[in-house]
Structure 1
């Protein structure tokens, strides 16, 4: 039996704030669907923070794929740090990762 929690619920449970943001300077690439952000603790804010910014206009199917991907990414950074998924360290010391859809060719 499948877990009754949706991926959006799981993101909420692990503390990821999900927002749709049109004002972001989105790359021209239409396959970029979002931006994952991880905020590290500081003296001003001693808690780890996480946000998933979603490009407006995504279909429900695309949102489900983004949320499924994001749950894994945010759980892994908590367990293994930023290296396994290629998080980019920003100039402010926090991390970001663009959400980009890529079609992988079949191995057949």
Structure 2
């Protein structure tokens, strides 16, 4: 399952989206209203997931038949808050179909 690049892309999309939400809500909000500062650890996690998502987008685009325009939309979605969830929902059927097609048939 984790060897499937489409599955990895789907999971990275969701993980990166949630890490951004956590960074904005908990990192920024808690550092302003309390002494708890989670910006550095959450920011590092989000940065790592963002880089992995960019690489995964560039790897998966050919398999999904995405042109330059769709690839740019996917990359911009990684930057805009909550956009990874919108992209994931919009392309869900396409991603699931590609994921099923990439899995080896088990006897």
**Same fold at TM > 0.5:** no
Looking at CA atoms only, which structure, 1 or 2, has the larger radius of gyration?
2
Structure having the higher strand fraction is 1
Structure having the higher helix fraction is 2
Question: Greater RCO between the two (CA within 8 Å, min separation 6)?
Answer: 2
TM-score of the superposed pair, with normalisation by structure 1: 0.32
